[in-house]
Structure 1
């Protein structure tokens, strides 16, 4: 079973929220407002590259 955590940018009032879960090989991303829709699987290397790109552009 995956343990999910909400984005640090999410607020308690709802809105555009995502949650992530981690496995040994991937990061799982899902919409907090629509959990039943499933999740996206992102390989760990790709997730790390994504985070570096976001931090580099300060998004």
Structure 2
């Protein structure tokens, strides 16, 4: 997506290897995605494994 201030921005996740199972990798990554209920949930109920302070902004 073009942004007038920052230009063309995107993120790529690249896997390099021999005989990689693309379907298995995709399935594992997809399993990490949040569903609609998780996105809308009160995130303060989730544990913070990295010890970062979570600051919630009200919409």
Question: Which TM-score tier does this pair reach, normalised by the shorter chain?
Answer: under 0.3
Higher RCO (C-alpha under 8 Å, 6+ residues apart): 1
TM-score, normalization by structure 1: 0.26
* Larger helix proportion of the pair: 1
Q: Which has the larger radius of gyration?
A: 2
TM-score, normalization by structure 2: 0.26
* Larger strand proportion of the pair: 1
